[in-house]
Amino acid sequence: MANEERARVLVSGRVQGVSFRDATRTQAEQLGLNGWVRNTEDGRVEAVFEGEPDAVRQMVEWCESGPSSADVENVSVENETPSGDPSGFEVR
């Protein structure tokens, strides 16, 4: 879809067991983004955000601090081709 961006982020630090996924979903829904968030086996949180470019950038910036209970050490971002799938946002 034109004028959409898609970013895959991996967040490391104390990000599991601190409601990071639920807070991410809430934030993404407020920004009107599609995508998903999940815990990884190595202790990180992985998420994909797709939608309006400014909203995607705001979401990536939000991940740099996350919810107040999290202690984010690093966020890696990889831009991907948008799928255009208006599926909403889910916790996996």
In DSSP terms, which residues pair with 80 in a beta bridge? Answer: 6
In a domain, 87, yes or no: no
In a domain, 88, yes or no: no
In a domain, 17, yes or no: yes
Please identify every residue annotated as catalytic. Answer: 21, 39
Q: What percent of the chain has pLDDT over 90?
A: 91
Identify the domain containing residue 68 by its residue range: 5-82
The better pLDDT of the pair 80, 84 is held by 80
Q: How far is CA 37 from CA 29, 32, 49, 69, in A?
A: 12, 15, 9, 17
In a domain, 92, yes or no: no
pLDDT for 31 equals: 97
pTM assigned to the model: 0.93
pLDDT for 2 equals: 59
What's the domain count of the chain?
Answer: 1
Tell me the average pLDDT across 70-81.
96
Q: Give the CATH number, domain containing residue 63.
A: 3.30.70.100
